[in-house]
Chain A
Amino acid sequence: SAVISQKPSRDICQRGTSLTIQCQVDSQVTMMFWYRQQPGQSLTLIATANQGSEATYESGFVIDKFPISRPNLTFSTLTVSNMSPEDSSIYLCSVGNRGSRNTEAFFGQGTRLTVV
């Protein structure tokens, strides 16, 4: 298994500002993902963080709003840009490894964001 540390665990931000969320893993992983969980709803995949290249975004999510970095195999950041109250959500980092023996994803504790 992998131990994932997300920072910050929670934040309250003013609209129009940006917040960068960090995801640190205790071991090298192949796959890193960012999910959003809006209040009372399920998890939606934002993007796959690719090491050394641009992230792959899901439909409805764009790089200008959610820029992602992944400089190495243990670290990634997600920035929520020009925030509005609709961005209030829990943002979760998820990791995993390729290969037939690695069949599950591990999740961080999440970052609870409130935009006021």
Chain B
Amino acid sequence: AQSVTQLGSHVSVSEGALVLLRCNYSSSVPPYLFWYVQYPNQGLQLLLKYTSAATLVKGINGFEAEFKKSETSFHLTKPSAHMSDAAEYFCAVSDPENTGFQKLVFGTGTRLLVSP
């Protein structure tokens, strides 16, 4: 079975500081990995995805993530935080060979707080 662990339910940064949101996964097969963002009272928006191509993935809004198989990690980073980045971030994994790309197992989420 697949699982995702997101360390830290809340992360606080200052505007302009580095953003680092951690995600570790467990999967018996090569996974596909995703980061989604959820703004207050809205649905989920895809930030970026890893689908077995380049291990460093660039997404929208200046975010990127690096797939590290040896560490079973897929941490999300952004060099400089903006106030508009304040939201809930979810890491998710899918098993493309068995259950398909779109059937996702989500982590517990990390709320990013950005202070002026």
Contacts and interface: CB of A to CB of B under 8 A. Distances in A.
A102 B43 contact: no
Contacts of A44: 106
Contacts of B103: 31, 33, 45, 48, 105
Interface string A71-103: 000000000000000000000101111100011
Interface of A: 4, 31, 33, 41-45, 48, 92, 94-98, 102-110, 112
Given A41-B109, A42-B109, 8 more contacts: A31-B102, A33-B102, A44-B106, A92-B43, A102-B101, A105-B104, A107-B43, A110-B42
Contacts, number: 60
A92 B105 CA distance: 14
Contacts of B100: 31, 96, 98
Nearest to B88: A42
B46 A104 contact: yes
A94 B109 CA distance: 18
Given A45-B103, A102-B101, A108 B43 contact: yes
